[in-house]
Amino acid sequence: MQAGKSEVSAIVYKAGECMQELIKLWKEFEESQDNKTDENACNGPTLEIRIPAEYVTATNRQVRGGQLWGTDIYTDDSDLVAVLMHTGYCRPTASLPPPAIQELRATIRVLPPQDCYTSTLRNNVRSRAWGAAIGCSYRVERCCIVKKGGGTIDLEPCLTHTSAVEPTLAPVAVERTMTTRSAASNALRQQRFVREVTIQYNLCNEPWIKYTISMVADKGLKKPLYTSARLKKGEVLYLETHKNRYELCFNGEKMVNAMITSQTPDAMSEKLHLHSWHAQNGERSLYRETMVVDVFRWSRCKKPLPQKVMRSIGIPLPLEYLEVLEENVEWEDVRWSQTGVWIAGKEYLLARVHFLSPN
């Protein structure tokens, strides 16, 4: 192996082990540059890393552990698979590469230590920051696929895709459960208030709450705490299956006729707004009454959009972005279950839920 020269050295990637060869190469390179003033002295030798296909997955423990410091230029102890995902040569997916792939080969350039290493969120992988110079650094110069039958395929980096989503939440359908406890000191009381919140990425790769019936249920006995009242005040409920996004919003009021049997006006439900009442002598009678009821619109979003885009367009979404499925649904006809919602006799199996307000 020849350090400090143009020949490329080669090693095999091992999960959980630092690339000690980097530091060795950098020290040999520095010694060879002691009496030189070449402008290229800041660029060290290259090193080829052969990565078996089974390690190129987001379940790699080094990737899961966030062993990654820097942006474009990384610390010598940054995991190479995590770096390749951060630079976009490969996707951070839990599935293994196709069987036809034997390995990845990455060519990295050994570089001097940096004064600091910045953190960025790129390709749904968050690198970490480090504020001090260490042994050496490196950057990826080339990466290719080696096929089992022979031949290679060059990969291209993706250095521009960033996201505002914090990837500390599990991606796609993978979930992470966070349990929050009451701050009360009494241990028994704490146990009473244990509540689990499970977060998933939605169809636009943003964190939403996993659907449960408690997320859409009324939050109290007072009218303002009713879910229907929240929608009437302007909030919009967005729900997702694994393929589609739906919108449930307030759509106004309508007049309906109803046959009511009662003894006194007090027996009427608080939710009914009657225009007339014709009680006679407190006796039980049958009346035809006109009342006003709230109605809601159930629509399928033609295309899932990021929340920032939705707010710029308007919430609820304009009709051109929707396929209206049911236009005048009474709240009593929206039936929630542990797995989803029934509307107009059709069940929608739900995965995620999110409330959005216009402001």
For the residues 247-251, what does the mean pLDDT come to? 96
Whether the pLDDT of residue 279 is over 60: the answer is no
Whole-model pTM: value is: 0.45
**Interatomic CA distance for residues 79 and 83, integer angstroms:** 6
Residue with tokens 């096929």: 147
Across the beta sheet with 334-336, what order do the strands follow? 334-336, 340-343, 346-349
Torsion over CA: 326, 330, 333, 339 (sign): positive
| Domains in the chain: ranges and CATH | 9-154 (2.170.130.20), 169-198 (no CATH), 202-252+294-356 (no CATH)
Q: Is the pLDDT at 243 greater than 70, yes or no?
A: yes
78 pLDDT above the threshold of 70: yes
For the stretch 295-350, pLDDT in tens is 999 999 999 999 999 999 999 999 999 999 999 999 988 989 888 999 988 899 99
Show the tokens assigned to 100: 């036809």
Quick one: DSSP state of residue 134? -
CA 2 to chain centre: 46
User: pLDDT, tens digit, for every residue of 91-105?
Assistant: 887 778 888 899 999
Q: Which residue has the higher pLDDT, 73 or 292?
A: 73
Residue 31 has φ and ψ, to the nearest 5°, of -65, -35
When pLDDT is cut at 50, 70 and 90, the band that residue 166 belongs to is very low
Place of tokens 């979930």: 175
